[in-house]
Structure 1
């Protein structure tokens, strides 16, 4: 069963989310944390797949994005920090409410995996699996992509924020329009090392990156210009106690023309999806009969 729901954050912000409920006893429950500016419908096919594998799933739009945008985007106070500190914890609590007494997992895409150390309830997770989650550091990008990345980060973003009060990222194929607070932090963090580490002691006064010891799998593609191996390792370094398994995928090995930074979640790449579901299943225990029914 698929149902749209509302998630209420601690600061009373409301997010739009979609709940996927299996028809049988569940193995666990998964929150799919999206990439920067990517709306939840992008993950629908993948969420259905996980649901068919026996997982309850929630997808969501971060504040300021798609159906979670309230009012004009130029008035949005959203930032990457609020996504991690407010939105993601609330989504996990909502997942726990709808699927009680089971194991909880996070599947992060890009920013969705980068920000989980900002969640005060992160250790309620049993494990997490990321795709394309890296520091996004410009200094580690190959020369052929570097000019494009610098143009977007260091020219397009500041110019858009100055002229329009937000970033029209959709015009250059970079997801939904972005609130200026989101794109401003994105620009700053990708120009440094360790991504969110750039904000420690500044916008981020408390975090849980040092405390996370969860099993984790970090999947990346050889043709991803952003989340290359150097940037993935750079991001993992922000989690000093983490158990990290890195899995490198090559498109030719799966008869795929492209995986890149975005195609993993498309139906064309569904041959890759067991990389996630097998990992989650290996850390899950089927819910007992008396606890298998979700709360609706």
Structure 2
């Protein structure tokens, strides 16, 4: 693997890693919120062993793409799709012009696809636990928890620290203030990102490629209702929906991040590989 820097149209660069395969398939991994690209390294190694070239990257303000004090960043969540992901797609198209380009969007990584004007050039898209973050898609205590996060915790802590201190509350990396503020604003609305951006200003309907959307029973960060809402925004794509339960893999729980653990390489990872090659 090799580390590279990819320039964006917003004047900054993002840190990326290329796992060079010998085949004619390139797979871009668009990470979950606040998750460093290294989280997907074992999964990327696995795909590379089957000849797939994998490109991972850190969004601006995360991991190796954080090159200045996070308190000073004005980066927004939408920028991660409009500039960061868009630049990575263009890099893949330019450097692997004869290859099939597949994108795997994990969680918010799947949401950001619709913000990239280059997304229509993707040959294949796989959404893994990609959802709307609207609080009312959850049930029971999780619904209350999401309401409190979006209405109280995210706005107040982001304003106080001038960034969102995710590391103190979860396993996520800290988030630039405007990323957290924009995300919580969307999460308060049933229209989610459409509460800020008109449908015609985004690119969900421009995508006509095959899309596989995967939801997971018991995922407390991506309830099936939220996954279905996001999937439905790709109204002109050829959609395949898959809903997994932990028992399908002989485990008690998978969660929002578990499917990328090594223990799933003999089942879930094989399924992703097959979908990418389809």
**TM-score bracket relative to the smaller structure:** over 0.9
- Residue aligning to 2:184: 187
CA pair 194-30 structure 1, distance change in 2 beyond 3 A: farther
Q: Distance in 2 between matches of 1:72 and 1:205?
A: 35
Q: Distance in 2 between matches of 1:227 and 1:98?
A: 34
Q: Distance in 1 between matches of 2:277 and 2:200?
A: 35
Q: Quick check: 1:33–1:108 contact (8 Å CA) kept in 2?
A: yes
Q: Bigger shift: 86-95 or 230-239?
A: 230-239
- Residue aligning to 1:137: 134
SS of the aligned residue for 1:115 comes to helix
Larger RCO of the pair (alpha carbons < 8 Å, separation 6+): 1
SS of the aligned residue for 2:144 comes to helix
Give TM-score, length-normalised by structure 1: 0.89
Whether 1:67 and 2:73 are equivalent positions in the alignment is no
5+ long unaligned stretches in structure 1: 283-296
Alpha-carbon deviations, 1:158-209, whole Å to 9, x = none? 12112110100111115100001111111111222343222224xx873211
Q: Kindly tell me the number of residue pairs found equivalent between the two proteins.
A: 277
- Residue aligning to 1:121: 118
Q: Quick check: 1:193–1:234 contact (8 Å CA) kept in 2?
A: no
Q: Quick check: 1:223–1:258 contact (8 Å CA) kept in 2?
A: yes
SS of the aligned residue for 1:273 comes to helix
Q: Quick check: 1:256–1:269 contact (8 Å CA) kept in 2?
A: no
5+ long unaligned stretches in structure 2: none
SS of the aligned residue for 1:226 comes to coil
1:197 aligned to which of 190, 194, 207: 194
Q: Distance in 1 between matches of 2:179 and 2:253?
A: 28
CA pair 194-248 structure 1, distance change in 2 beyond 3 A: farther
Give TM-score, length-normalised by structure 2: 0.95
Q: Quick check: 1:114–1:196 contact (8 Å CA) kept in 2?
A: no
Q: Quick check: 2:218–2:255 contact (8 Å CA) kept in 1?
A: yes
Q: Distance in 2 between matches of 1:236 and 1:198?
A: 17
- Residue aligning to 1:54: 51
Q: Tell me the C-alpha RMSD between the 2 structures.
A: 1.6
Q: Distance in 2 between matches of 1:277 and 1:195?
A: 31
Q: Quick check: 1:107–1:113 contact (8 Å CA) kept in 2?
A: yes
- Residue aligning to 1:232: 227
1:221 aligned to which of 213, 216, 219: 216
